[in-house]
Structure formats: C-alpha cells, structure tokens
Amino acid sequence: MTVVDSSLSLSGLRIVITGASGGIGSEIARACAARGAELLLHYCTQRDQAERLVAELSSATHACQTIQADLSDPESVEDFVRAAWDWSPVIDGWVSNAGADVLTTSWAQAPFEEKLQRLWEVDVLGTIRVGKLVGSHMQRQAPGRVTPSILHVGWDQAFRGMTEEAGQLFGPTKAAVMAFSQHLAQHLAPAVRVNCVAAGWIRTKWGAESASEQWQRRAIAESLLQRWGTAEDVGQLAAFLLSPAAAFINAQMIEVNGGWRRAAD
C-alpha cells in the first residue's frame, strides 16, 4: 500500500506480535508489514501457518521471522522475551494478541473447568507475565524513533455480560487482560504507551466455520453497522496505534465492533 501520511508509517520500527499464526494476529502482521515494520511473529503450535505468513510478507518487509513459545509456561515466556531482545536491542511495539482457542480445536469438547483453566493459563497469566517483562525491557532500552508501546487484545462484551458458556469463559479472562492493560499503562508511563483493542464480533475461524445460524444473526444484530467485523478491521487499528500518529494515545480501551447495541437473544 502507499502511505500518504508519514506519521502512519512503521518503516524502521521493530514490532513483535504474539499469536501471529491466527486470524487476528496474521492481519495485524499484514497491516504492520504493509507500513514497513520489521516483524518478529510468535506462534505456539501452528508453525506451518506462521512460516507461510513470513513467506507472504517477505516482499512487504525486509525483516520478518518467526519464534515459538508456550505462553502458559513461565520459563518459555522468559526465554521468548529474552530472544526478542536478542533479535533487536530496541523493540518499538509489542502486540499481545495470543489466546487459547477453546472453540474450534479439540478443547471445544473439554469440560468447562478445563477450558477456563486453559484460558487462565494462556490469556491471563501468559499476558501478564509477558507484559511485565516486556515493559521492564522497554523502560531500560535505548531511546528509539518513537515511544515504545504495548498493545493488548480484549473483548468488547467482557464488562457487558452475555448468555451462554462462552460469556462465562471469555468475560472474566478478557476482563482481566483489559484491567491489566490499564494498570500497566499507569506503571510504565511516560516511558511506554499501553493500549487495548476490545474486539467485537470478528469473523475468524469460529465465525466462518462453526457459529450456528443463531450466532450469525446475533453478531450482525449487535453491530450498528449490521455486519461481522473482520480481522483486517482489527489489524488496521492496531497498526495505527503502533504508529507515530498515535503518539498521544495511551491507557485507552478502543472497541472495534461497528458500534455495539444490545439485541434480543
């Protein structure tokens, strides 16, 4: 793409994206690569998808590579963050997007308690451990071209409440991520910016392949724009929040949902 406003460019910036092999993570990577960022793309188990993404983006950015880590494992988290700073002594942006898929994998058949435990270990504890380590490194690193920033991915209905098991799983876990984002922003200011994207009904694998007709109707009805959101919608906002154009945006939770409205269940 052609960048008209240079403040939107990510050229020369080094960005790490966790969960980059998934739907939202891959679109964040594409949006950042299109603006010239150099990328380190994390995956846990989906190595083939991550490597295909690197091959796809190689023409858009001259520095793009993968790294594996299990974010539910504290030792793996420490090794991951250390390796990221070996990759680059200055990291300008870090996107904590990784989350456990308990909807479309074998975890979908697991009991509620096991799903909740998995989300707690990956989405909550993993995100918090990563955020604390990354924030500490960013505070100590040499000054770069921009104020370094951390971006979390939450859920727009975490504090609203919804029916069905999914709400009881993702509501508490994503609310914890969003709360942590706010507190981390206070702790790291003014050296590091921290924001959170609260994604709404985004049509990733579950929405495209598994959601029932009832959920399809609900996703459209609960958006004022009357459509599913796309992973690209999230990616475009993420790239903006990482750019110099967002230099004064900090400690914010920004919803990507087309304008939420409560619809009849």
| pLDDT for residue 1 | 47
Question: Of the spans 100-104, 142-146, 179-183, which averages the highest pLDDT?
Answer: 179-183
Q: Give tens-digit pLDDT for 78-129.
A: 999 999 999 999 999 999 999 999 988 888 899 999 999 999 999 999 999 9
> Angle 98-185-192 (CA atoms, 0-180°, nearest 5)?
90
Question: Of the spans 66-75, 101-110, 198-207, which averages the highest pLDDT?
Answer: 66-75
User: Taking the complete model, does pTM exceed 0.75, yes or no?
Assistant: yes
Residues in the chain: 265
- Among 9-13, 120-124, 164-168, the minimum mean pLDDT is found in 164-168
Parse the chain into domains and list their residue ranges: 11-256
| pLDDT for residue 191 | 98
| Chain mean position to CA 163 | 24
Three-class HEC string of the chain: CCCCCHHHCCCCCEEEECCCCCHHHHHHHHHHHHCCCEEEEEECCCHHHHHHHHHHHCCCCCCEEEEECCCCCHHHHHHHHHHHHHHCCCCCEEEECCCCCCCCCHHHHCCHHHHHHHHHHHHHHHHHHHHHHHHHHHHHCCCCCCCCEEEEEEECCCCCCCCHHHHHHHHHHHHHHHHHHHHHHHHHCCCCEEEEEEECCECCHHHHHHCCHHHHHHHHHCECCCCCECHHHHHHHHHHHHCHHHCCCCCCEEEECCCECCCCC
| pLDDT for residue 265 | 53
Query: What confidence category does residue 4 fall into, taking pLDDT thresholds of 50, 70 and 90?
Result: very low
Distance CA 107, CA 25 (A): 20
Query: What confidence category does residue 258 fall into, taking pLDDT thresholds of 50, 70 and 90?
Result: very high
Q: What would the CATH number be for the domain defined by 11-256?
A: 3.40.50.720
- Among 57-61, 177-181, 222-226, the minimum mean pLDDT is found in 57-61
Query: What confidence category does residue 61 fall into, taking pLDDT thresholds of 50, 70 and 90?
Result: low
Over its C-alpha atoms, the chain yields an Rg (Å, rounded) of 18
